[in-house]
Amino acid sequence: FAMSQRDHLKIYMSMGEFGAVSRIDSFIFGSIFTYTFTQNPAAPGQLDLLTLKTILKVLYP
């Protein structure tokens, strides 16, 4: 599916505690967006800015 839709802009994101991984790996599936927070999470599964930035720098140097 992701390859057949590669010419279209997409945003993939799962919610809840189990959805945290989608904030990291969504780029593999062509997502152009992720969400983080700087002070307080708005929902379960959200990663803070520093954590997400650190992980993304390792995975996508």
pLDDT digits (tens, 9 = 90+) for 3-14: 676 677 777 777
Type and span of the H or E element at 57: helix 49-59
**pLDDT recorded at residue 26:** 80
Are the CB atoms for 56 and 33 separated by under 8 Å? Answer: no
Tell me, what DSSP letter sits at residue 46?
P
CA distance 10 to 42: 22
**pLDDT recorded at residue 3:** 66
Q: Which residues of the chain have pLDDT under 50?
A: none
**pLDDT recorded at residue 39:** 92
Give me the phi and psi of 37, to 5 degrees please: -140, 160
Model confidence, pTM = 0.68
